[in-house]
């Protein structure tokens, strides 16, 4: 693995960073720009329909990013020999952050699917209620955790 990392190290770090950019940057964009823009729509059917649609499209790019983040993280941990480093606890912290972020993402995914079912049945009130926690705490929590993971990545880079 160390030899593999010597040859493809730049590509692995690049894939790790671009995945973090897509996931964390994407969440910041949808929460702080798209979300407020959509709130301006008065007709509930269009408002909810567009929200469900952009979230579905966002998931299509986030799911590969989550997987690539983990695969490249494992490659870096082994390839950079982080086990022997005094900064190894940071690797564990990042693994824990990734795990919590992924669990929250799974909840977001399930809530959107639930909201879609209510929407398809014409129950817009329940669809809205299912989506509220996403904007209220789920996406903000994942943004905060993602930013911490980013900062810890910069710390590990010093190795």
The residues that touch ligand HEM, with contacts defined as CB under 6 A, are 13, 16-17, 20, 23-24, 69-70, 73, 76-77, 80, 82, 91, 94-95, 97-98, 101, 146, 149-150, 153-154, 156-157, 159
Nearest approach, Cβ of 55 to ligand HEM (angstroms)?
18
Query: From the CA atom positions of the chain, what is the Rg in Å?
Result: 18
Name residue, tokens 């952009």: 54
Burial status of residue 134 (CB atoms within 10 A of its CB: 0-12, 13-18, 19 or more): buried
- For residues 48 and 131, the answer to whether their CB atoms sit within 8 Å is yes
Nearer CB in complex with ligand HEM: 38/145:
145
Residue with smaller CB distance to ligand HEM, 122 or 154: 154
Shortest reach from residue 141's CB to ligand HEM, in Å? 13
Q: Which is nearer to ligand HEM, 72 or 116 (CB)?
A: 72
CB 100 within 8 A of CB 66: no
Q: Indicate the residue among 115 and 139 with the shorter CB distance to ligand HEM.
A: 139
Unique residue bearing structure tokens 């904007």: 135
């Amino acid at each position: 693995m160390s030899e593999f990392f010597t040859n493809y190290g730049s590509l692995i770090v690049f894939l790790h960073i671009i995945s973090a950019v897509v996931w964390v940057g994407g969440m910041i964009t949808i929460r702080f720009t798209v979300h407020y823009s959509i709130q301006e729509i008065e007709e509930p059917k269009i408002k909810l329909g567009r929200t469900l649609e952009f979230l579905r499209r966002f998931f299509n790019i986030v799911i590969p990013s989550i997987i690539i983040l983990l695969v490249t993280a494992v490659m870096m941990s082994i390839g950079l020999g982080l086990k022997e480093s005094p900064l190894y606890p940071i690797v564990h912290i990042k693994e824990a952050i990734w795990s919590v972020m992924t669990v929250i993402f799974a909840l977001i995914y399930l809530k959107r699917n639930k909201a879609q079912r209510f929407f398809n049945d014409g129950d817009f009130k329940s669809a809205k209620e299912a989506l509220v926690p996403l904007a209220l705490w789920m996406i903000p929590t994942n943004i905060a955790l993602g930013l911490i993971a980013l900062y810890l990545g910069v710390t590990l880079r010093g190795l």
